[in-house]
Amino acid sequence: MATVVNLLLFGAVLVAHTLIAAVATRFFRIQMATQWGAVLYALLVTPLALLVTTYVATGVLGLGPELGSPATALAVMIGLPIALGFTIDVLYMPTPEEYELPD
């Protein structure tokens, strides 16, 4: 059974993962020359970073409630933050073309 503290820490990890996903998506959108390159990197590299932080948070630190199966845990701890981070970056942030990058 999940305690209130476990649920709060689990929510904090989800917020941190969403922030990581949004920042990584923004970084790839600004740095990549093509639109598909940014999408591919965001979908392939960001989950690896989230997987590492998931292992640290749930394994080493022991945060989060028991979610049942590993597939559910991965969907909630990695899939949901990627979807939210990508949506936040694409819908609520200015396009990368509006920024001037130094040479």
Residue with the bigger pLDDT between 29 and 6: it is: 29
Q: Please compute the mean of the pLDDT values over residues 60-86 and round it to a whole number.
A: 79
| Contact indicator for 95, 30 with CB cutoff of 8 Å | no
pTM of the entire structure? 0.80
Map out the domains of the chain as residue ranges: 4-94
Residue 68 or residue 94, greater confidence = 94
Residue 98 pLDDT level (bands cut at 50, 70, 90)? confident
CA dihedral 15, 38, 45, 17 (to 10 degrees): 0
Who's near 10: CB < 8 A, 6+ residues apart?
A: 2, 63, 64, 65
> pLDDT tens, 31-61?
887 888 888 888 889 999 998 988 887 777 6
Q: Three-state SS for 28?
A: helix
- The answer to whether residue 1 scores a pLDDT higher than 60 is no
